[in-house]
Amino acid sequence: MNQPRGIYDSERACLQHPVRRERTRLFGRQLRQLLDAGLELLFPSRCAGCQRVDTVWCPECQDLLDAIPFPARQARAHSPFTALACSGDHNGLLRQALLALKYENAAQLAGPLGNRLASLVTGLQWKTDFLVPVPLHPSRERERGYNQTRLMGQVLAQKLCIPLADDALYRTGNTRAQVGLTRRQRLENVSNAFVVNAKRVQGCDLLLVDDVYTTGATLGECARALLAKGARSVFGLTLTRAVSPANHGEGNPEWM
């Protein structure tokens, strides 16, 4: 005797049908768009630089960003880097834009910030085989929704016409946030936190990218791990560098 199908069987049959499945996906997209529109109406976007309503980044703030000069002096070559550079100090408009990208879901800011990095590297005339973004731990990336360094790296790699390698460096240690830690604590925090795909990096010149250089603990640990697995050289690049009295003599001995 045939048993009547339950509601869950009916739903399963509906989802298995190609046309109905596509309609379900379309309905889901439309529902998300409506929800996004409602949230935008209730909580309109604001420019990360000047708080102007209805934009994440306004033309005036872009002009101000373009006017920020690159540091006249970059860090001298020192182990483990062949060279090390940043696009500016971690304050003012650069800091505001980066914090919005990292913590306020303003992923669109990866565009102007990645373009700024591209202008810097083009001027430095570094020759590298591919770009390696410093990875987040998977749990932190899921929490944030994206890796801000990877987003900037995608823009940078496209401008430089080099590949971006997601499969070269992995973060296996779910370390605590580095904010507020001393240099020694930062070094201990990221020790052995990264794993390298040796086949991917052997004999290559790498452009290693991160968002902020504070004490150099994270960037340095990544560079040493890459070199230990056969990378020929590592060029370090960050959007900003933290410069404060608390860091002098401890945090940034490499910056000239």
Residue 254 lies in a domain: no
Residue 28 lies in a domain: yes
Q: Are residues 26 and 125 in the same domain?
A: no
pLDDT the model gives residue 248: 41
Q: Are residues 112 and 164 in the same domain?
A: yes
246 — pLDDT class (breaks 50, 70, 90) = very low
Q: Are residues 105 and 210 in the same domain?
A: yes
- Indicate which CATH number applies to the domain containing 144: 3.40.50.2020
Q: Are residues 35 and 162 in the same domain?
A: no
Q: Are residues 81 and 12 in the same domain?
A: no
User: In b/e form, how buried is each residue of 145-167, taking b as 16+ CB within 10 angstroms?
Assistant: eebbbbbbbbbbbeebebebbbe
Q: Are residues 198 and 115 in the same domain?
A: yes
Percent with pLDDT over 90 in the chain? 59
Q: Are residues 171 and 124 in the same domain?
A: yes
Residue 2 lies in a domain: no
Q: Are residues 119 and 224 in the same domain?
A: yes
Q: For all residues of the chain together, what is the average pLDDT?
A: 83
The number of domains in the chain is 2
Nearest 10 degrees: Cα torsion 117, 121, 123, 128: -160
Average pLDDT over residues 60-88: 90
Question: Residue 252 above 90 pLDDT?
Answer: no
Q: Are residues 11 and 101 in the same domain?
A: no
Residue 58 lies in a domain: no
Average pLDDT over residues 72-88: 85
pLDDT the model gives residue 37: 59
Q: Are residues 167 and 80 in the same domain?
A: yes
Say how far apart CA 111 and CA 166 lie, in whole Å. 19
Q: Are residues 83 and 24 in the same domain?
A: no
Average pLDDT over residues 116-132: 97
Please provide the size of the chain in residues.
256
Q: Are residues 27 and 120 in the same domain?
A: no
Closest C-alpha among 159, 160, 105 to residue 128: 160
Residue 210 lies in a domain: yes
End-to-end CA distance of the chain: 85
**Which residues constitute the domain of residue 11?**
7-42
Say how far apart CA 146 and CA 143 lie, in whole Å. 8
pLDDT in tens, 152-205: 999 999 999 999 999 999 998 665 455 555 555 555 555 577 999 999 999 999
Q: CB 2: neighbour CB atoms within 10 A?
A: 4
User: Could you tell me whether strands 169-171 and 194-196 are parallel, antiparallel, or unpaired per DSSP bridges?
Assistant: antiparallel
Residue 248 lies in a domain: no
Residue 213 lies in a domain: yes
Q: What's the Cα-to-Cα distance from 55 to each of 40, 44, 112, 248, rounded to whole Å?
A: 11, 8, 14, 37
Predicted TM-score (pTM) of this structure: 0.78
Average pLDDT over residues 25-41: 67
The answer for residues whose C-beta is within 8 angstroms of residue 176's C-beta and 6 or more apart is 189
- Specify the range with the lowest mean pLDDT, choosing from 65-79, 126-140, 168-182, 190-204: 168-182
Closest C-alpha among 110, 67, 109, 58 to residue 88: 67
Sign of CA pseudo-dihedral 202, 82, 206, 123: negative
Average pLDDT over residues 97-110: 95
